[in-house]
Amino acid sequence: MLASIPVPDTDFGPSTVKYFPSIGWWLLPLLSLVAIFLFCAPRAAAETSGLPPIDARAYILMNADTGAIIATKNAYQPYAIASITKLMTLYLLFKDIDSGHLQMNQHFVPCRTALQTRGSSMFMHPGLPFSVAQMILGMTVPSGNDAAVEAAHLVAGSVPAFVTEMNQTARKIGMLSTTYYDPDGLPHPNNMSSPYDVAVLTRTIMTQFPQFMPFFGHKNFTYAGITSPNPNLLVGRVPFITGMKSGYTDAAGHCLVATGTQDGVKLIAVILGVPSFHNERRGFWKASWQSLKLLDWGFARTLWLPAAPHLERTSAP
């Protein structure tokens, strides 16, 4: 193998000993091997990883079935997560429905707190009924803050009680560095999570409540006569994409949790802090593209190279 590697011509004759009299002849072959290693090591590392550049502050790629971590960058450091917060809100709502406290076809009118919530919206109106199913879609597609606050009231009676439950649940399911302040992800210093924690939560939802996964696969959502698109631009466009949640604030940048399934293999890509643009849709296009690159790379290693399990431990710098 070493003989096939081109190495610059080196004269280890008498002149070498003349200028480096302390170097014995026994050491010269060792120095040759060191030089070869230093010349080739960066190139070899790049060829074995093959991970395309991912323009984001932090990310993780996880196998949803096994929990194996395939690729990471700053994966255990907490960052602002914007509306990725709503994944915990949805998880607690799913638990509440599963317990029988709420039913999918139940109808409510929005509470005052929900109507007063600013930011992204499913466009709740005073006195206009909505179903629990519509409320879920209001969070998964247009990322409605009004829907998230309404869910908090329906599940726990108030936002503070719900936030307490959010933080307790995060500890229970193994989220290591997450803190929540609100159910919607509006900017606050306490709304922080890491790519690893978000992947753990996403995997928990996929494992415990697969029946709710179709809610994350809608390209558009219409309520109150208004049709809102899904900021996850992979949904409805890439066949193997199954969801899952977008988020954006100035502090968080563009964030995206993208899930996909191919040949029975389920992967989770969490990307936080894609550089922001004044054009928000352009930013989500970039976040979607980074997620697609990460998932495509992961499926290539998982499905096409099954005889190389060590690749599941590949970590990008």
Per-residue pLDDT, 216:
97
- Are 31 and 156 contained in the same domain? no
Distance between CA atoms of 141 and 204, rounded to whole angstroms? Answer: 20
Distance between CA atoms of 240 and 145, rounded to whole angstroms? Answer: 28
- Are 69 and 39 contained in the same domain? no
Per-residue pLDDT, 49:
59
* The pair of three-digit structure tokens given for residue 24, joined into one six-digit string: 């014995």
SS3 state at 286: helix
Let me know how long the chain is.
317
- Are 37 and 62 contained in the same domain? no
* The pair of three-digit structure tokens given for residue 282, joined into one six-digit string: 């352009």
Distance between CA atoms of 274 and 210, rounded to whole angstroms? Answer: 28
Q: Domain range spanning residue 178?
A: 52-313
Is 245 annotated in a binding site? The answer is yes
Specify whether the CB–CB gap between 230 and 281 falls below 8 A.
no
SS3 state at 224: coil
Q: Which amino acid is at 308?
A: A
- Are 39 and 59 contained in the same domain? no
Distance between CA atoms of 10 and 86, rounded to whole angstroms? Answer: 62
Distance between CA atoms of 251 and 238, rounded to whole angstroms? Answer: 29
Q: The CATH number of the domain where 265 resides is what?
A: 3.40.710.10
Q: CA angle 154-155-159, nearest 5°?
A: 80
Per-residue pLDDT, 274:
92
The conformation of residue 290, written as its DSSP 8-state character, comes to H
User: What pLDDT digit, counting tens, does each position of 192-242 carry?
Assistant: 999 999 999 999 999 999 999 999 999 999 999 999 999 999 999 999 999
- Are 82 and 32 contained in the same domain? no
- Are 233 and 102 contained in the same domain? yes
- Are 20 and 137 contained in the same domain? no
DSSP for 22-77, please give it. TS-TTTHHHHHHHHHHHHHHHHHHHHHH-PPP--SSEEEEEETTT--EEEEESTTS
User: What pLDDT digit, counting tens, does each position of 103-126 carry?
Assistant: 999 999 999 999 999 999 999 999
Per-residue pLDDT, 7:
32
What are the two backbone dihedrals, phi and then psi, of residue 210, each rounded to the nearest 5 degrees? -60, -25
- Are 34 and 91 contained in the same domain? no
Distance between CA atoms of 60 and 199, rounded to whole angstroms? Answer: 8
The stretches in the chain having pLDDT less than 70 are 1-49, 277-281, 304-317
At 262, which helix (H) or strand (E)? strand 253-262
Q: CA angle 302-308-310, nearest 5°?
A: 95
Per-residue pLDDT, 173:
98
- Are 9 and 107 contained in the same domain? no
Number of domains observed in the structure of the chain? 2
Distance between CA atoms of 140 and 83, rounded to whole angstroms? Answer: 10
- Are 56 and 19 contained in the same domain? no
Known catalytic residues are 83, 86, 143
- Are 60 and 134 contained in the same domain? yes
Specify whether the CB–CB gap between 276 and 253 falls below 8 A.
yes
- Are 241 and 265 contained in the same domain? yes
